[in-house]
């Protein structure tokens, strides 16, 4: 069964209003699992109690049983394991306090680097079935959303991750530390179907969309995870305080006004003139949230002639007419937000008739 599972460690995050999977209040976390549609099935099953397996839990990534992946300090990551014992509660367990706990449902995740072991804060532990008839650990997927501690990877070239299941350790899984591993949040964090537009908001907090496009010169905010350490440092698992900490690393922006353009690393080349590369107004952690970053920037004053977005449906021709790419300092660390901007009106020609 484990070789048939094609799930990966995914980077998702805490909430931005309705659009992101985890809504964090001052003293309570209402976690809504994103991209998981089988939890309702688990709720209706009469699952037996805790199951003690002789085999340690296995982390799944793209069908491999010995995966490795890149992570950055403070990054929010969703891990998928098989062969974890059946949880006593079919719907799993969610954190209900801040700071986030490091153990839920008897499960904990630790990161080992050159400086020792670091316990990862947990958002939730969910479990749902893969098999129709069997209810055994090898037929269940356990989803664990964690925050990589901010104090990890200081000078480390490699690290490892271990899941502890009521005293039983999994094998060690290799991690590749990076200064940043940028992931821009999209509307598909909570929606099952594309098209996926970047989670970008107007100054009043409303979402930029084809019905409410951004305008030339407007200041907008992009939400992301995996942007790395900040100044000052924030404690892992705790909500970001005010004033908001700023990024220690430098970000670059690229504005690509081609329809439906994919994100690209912000470099000056034949397709990106120097004026297309910019810096954000602000980049740092979002106050009141755990592991969520925001990048504040200004749409260029001069927007080239672009086609208006035509409805945002899957088969539409122009789903976005501006892609804002964000590049970090780590190799191949970039992502982007595909949004809609309002086309500028062409200047009207005055009376060009020559006098008699």
The SS3 of residue 194 is coil
SS (H, E, C) 225-269: ECCCCEECCCCCCCCCCCCCCEECCCCEEEEECCCCCCCCCCCCE
Q: How many C-beta atoms surround the C-beta of residue 100 within 10 A?
A: 24
Would you state the pLDDT for residue 67?
Answer: 58
H or E element at residue 230: strand 230-231
How far are the Cα atoms of 39, 132, 140, 176 from residue 42, in angstroms, in the given order? 5, 11, 10, 34
- Strands 183-184 and 219-225, by their bridges, are antiparallel
The SS3 of residue 307 is coil
Q: Which two tokens stand for residue 78?
A: 């969703």
The structural architecture, per CATH, of the domain 2-177 is Sandwich (2.60)
Q: Report, as an integer, the average pLDDT of 206-235.
A: 96
Query: Is residue 21 a contact partner of residue 188, using CB atoms and an 8 Å limit?
Result: no
Q: Which two tokens stand for residue 323?
A: 């892609």
- Using only C-alpha atoms, the chain has a radius of gyration, in whole angstroms, of 22
Residue 10 has pLDDT above 50, yes or no: no
Between 188 and 176, the more confident residue is 176
Residue 352 has pLDDT above 90, yes or no: no
Q: Where are the domains of the chain?
A: 2-177, 179-343
Would you state the pLDDT for residue 24?
Answer: 23
120 DSSP assignment: P
Residue 85 C-alpha from the chain's centroid: 28
User: pLDDT digits over 140-175, tens only?
Assistant: 999 999 999 999 988 777 899 999 998 889 999 999
User: pLDDT digits over 49-62, tens only?
Assistant: 222 334 567 776 54
Most confident listed range (15-19, 33-37, 90-94, 289-293): 289-293
pLDDT over 70 for what percent of the chain?
Answer: 73
Between 27 and 228, the more confident residue is 228
Which candidate, 223, 226, 252, places its Cα nearest to that of 328? 252
The SS3 of residue 17 is helix
* End-to-end CA gap in the chain: 88
Contacts of 243 (CB under 8 A, 6+ apart): none
Which pTM value belongs to this model? 0.80
User: pLDDT digits over 181-196, tens only?
Assistant: 999 998 887 655 667 7
Residue 322's pLDDT band, with cuts at 50, 70 and 90, is very high
């Amino acid at each position: 069964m484990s070789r048939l599972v094609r799930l990966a460690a995914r980077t998702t995050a805490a909430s931005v209003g309705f659009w992101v999977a985890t809504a964090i209040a001052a003293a309570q976390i209402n976690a809504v699992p994103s991209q998981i549609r089988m939890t309702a099935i688990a709720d209706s099953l009469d699952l037996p109690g805790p199951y003690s397996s002789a085999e340690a839990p296995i982390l799944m990534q793209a069908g491999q049983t010995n995966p490795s992946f890149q992570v950055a300090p403070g990054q929010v990551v969703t891990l998928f394991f098989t062969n974890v014992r059946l949880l006593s509660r079919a719907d799993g367990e969610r954190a209900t306090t801040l700071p986030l706990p490091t153990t839920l449902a008897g499960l904990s995740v630790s990161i080992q680097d050159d400086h020792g072991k670091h316990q990862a804060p947990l958002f939730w532990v969910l479990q749902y079935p893969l098999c129709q008839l069997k209810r055994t650990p090898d037929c269940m997927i356990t989803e664990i959303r964690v925050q990589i501690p901010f104090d990890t990877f200081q000078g480390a070239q490699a690290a490892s991750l271990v899941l502890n299941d009521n005293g039983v350790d999994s094998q060690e899984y290799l991690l590749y530390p990076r200064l940043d591993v940028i992931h821009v949040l999209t509307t598909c964090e909570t929606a099952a179907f594309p098209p996926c537009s970047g989670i970008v908001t107007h100054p009043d907090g409303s979402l930029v969309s084809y019905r409410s496009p951004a305008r030339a010169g407007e200041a907008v905010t992009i939400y992301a995870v995996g942007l790395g350490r900040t100044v000052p440092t924030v404690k892992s698992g705790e909500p970001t305080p005010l004033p908001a900490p700023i990024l220690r690393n430098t970000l670059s922006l690229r504005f690509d006004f081609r329809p439906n353009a994919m994100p690209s690393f912000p470099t000056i080349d034949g397709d990106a003139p120097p004026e297309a590369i910019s810096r954000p107004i602000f980049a740092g952690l979002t106050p009141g949230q755990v592991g969520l970053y925001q990048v504040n920037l200004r749409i260029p004053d001069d927007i080239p002639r672009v086609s208006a977005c035509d409805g945002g449906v899957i088969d539409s021709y122009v789903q976005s007419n501006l892609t804002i790419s964000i590049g970090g300092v780590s190799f191949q660390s970039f992502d982007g937000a595909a949004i809609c901007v309002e086309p500028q009106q062409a200047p009207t020609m005055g009376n060009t008739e020559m006098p008699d």
